[in-house]
Amino acid sequence: LWTAAHIIEDQIARVREQVGKDHVLLGLSGGVDSSVVAALLHRAIGDQLTCVFVDTGLLRWQEGDQVMATMAEHMGVKVIRVNAAERYFKALEGVADPEAKRKIIGRLFVEIFDEESAKVTAVGNGQVKWLAQGTIYPDVIESAGSKTGKAHVIKSHHNVGGLPDHMKLKLVEPLRELFKDEVRRIGVELGLPRDMVYRHPFPGPGLGVRILGEVKPEYAELLARADAIFIEELRKADLYDQVSQAFAVFLPVKSVGVVGDARAYEWVIALRAVETIDFMTAHWAELPYSFLGNVSNRIINEIRGVSRVVYDISGKPPATIEWE
Ligand code: XMP
């Protein structure tokens, strides 16, 4: 009988045997898979695990602090937080093409991860020999199939597929045989908060692909705040778990609004919420009008610089879930 507890025990034994006394490095993204791997490895090998969490400045509102609070403070996992927002914004300056942005974001992640792992080695953890990854069974199938298209690009960022050769790390992938729902159950069993384990997916490039065109720090802040209001209201209305993914998008378009007696030209926020089984096709979620109206009011009233909120009613196909 394979309960979550059994899978955990089994994987702990396997990991211990695999890595022995070696040190293991893990790129923590804040997502479900890498968080579950961190919790699992922490239980298996304790301080032989070092996680690197890169705060790109393109994460959800206060996500960096939340990851540290949960993983480092609550779970006791050794996490190095790298505050790299400035570096990301600098690298993205003037870049509007979505695939170019994805490449820059992915490349910077690898660079930073490489730098941090060199430091881990330098401070006397011995040679880091293992790289842990949150690869799950669907990823294995995916990369065995088509290598073209977004599906492959998707995980290549998060799963650090493109690490430099000189790192020569062997892989530990304790979730490789598991489906997402099993990963979630293990996460809960390991003591991760339910909210984190059942969170909607978040793309590797983060807000970088939800700010259309050029990414600027002020856009990122505004978007993260609008997104947080949307998510908070979804949770309050018990709608969060009924949609597969929901988020806000920043449109670099100025639309007229009246502020006091004057006309002001301010930004537009789009809200997207979808229902889907496999993320290959999706239906826009038929959220109640009153709910949408409430979210719109809050965003416009609470966030200076936004005067208009729209709701995306496009199905996939042809519209992808993300706007870029
Ligand atoms: P699309 O926009 O292709 O999204 O309909 C399908 C699912 O994939 C996520 N997505 C990404 N995830 N890196 C990721 O890690 C990416 O570049 C990326 N693009 C899309 C998207 O959030 C949705 O869940």
Residue 225 Cβ contacting ligand 1 at under 6 Å: no
Q: Name the more confident of 257 and 236.
A: 236
Contact 117, 164 (CB under 8 A): no
Q: What is the pTM of this model?
A: 0.92
pLDDT at residue 200 tops 70: yes
Q: Please report the pLDDT score of residue 156 as a whole number.
A: 45
Shared-domain flag, residues 44 and 178: yes
Q: What 3-state class would DSSP assign to 25?
A: strand
Q: Tell whether 205 is covered by a domain.
A: no
Q: Is the pLDDT confidence value at 147 over 70? A: no
Nearest CA among 27, 22, 66 for reference residue 44: 22
Q: How far is the CA of 8 from the centre of ligand 1 (A)?
A: 29
Tell how far the Cα of 203 is from the centroid of ligand 1, in angstroms.
5
Annotated binding residue 295: no
Q: Evaluate whether residue 69 is within a structural domain.
A: yes
Residue 135: Cβ within 10 Å count: 25
Q: Tens of pLDDT along 220-248? A: 999 999 999 999 999 999 999 999 999 99
| 185, part of any domain | yes
In a domain, residue 321? The reply is: no
How confident is residue 150, by pLDDT bands cut at 50, 70 and 90? very low
| Reported ipTM | 0.99
| Per-residue confidence band for 163, with pLDDT thresholds at 50, 70 and 90 | low
Please write the tens of the pLDDT for every residue from 78-107: 999 999 999 999 999 999 999 999 999 999
Q: What is the mean pLDDT of residues 201-220?
A: 97
Domain count, the chain: 2
CATH number of domain containing 214 = 3.30.300.10
What distance in angstroms lies between residue 321's CA and the mean position of ligand 1's atoms? 7
Residues 229 and 290 reside in one and the same domain: yes
Domain boundary among 148, 169, 197: 197
Residue 240, domain extent:
210-311
Q: How far apart are CA 12 and CA 19, in angstroms?
A: 11
Let me know if residue 202 belongs to a domain. Answer: no
Residue 324 lies in a domain: no
Those residues whose C-beta lies under 8 Å from the C-beta of residue 180, and which sit 6 or more positions away, are 32, 136, 138
% pLDDT > 90, the chain: 82
Instruction: Tell whether ligand 1 has an atom less than 6 A from the beta carbon of residue 245.
Output: yes
> Which of 139, 199, 279 most suits a substitution to test ligand 1, by most atoms within 8 Å of the C-beta?
279
Question: Residue 89 Cα, ligand 1 centroid: separation in angstroms?
Answer: 21
Based on the fold, state whether residues 136 and 279 are members of the same structural domain: no
Q: Which residue minimizes the CA distance to atom 8 of ligand 1?
A: 203
Mean pLDDT to the nearest integer, 160-181: 80
Asked whether residue 32 is marked as a ligand-binding residue, the answer is yes
176 and 78 within one domain: yes
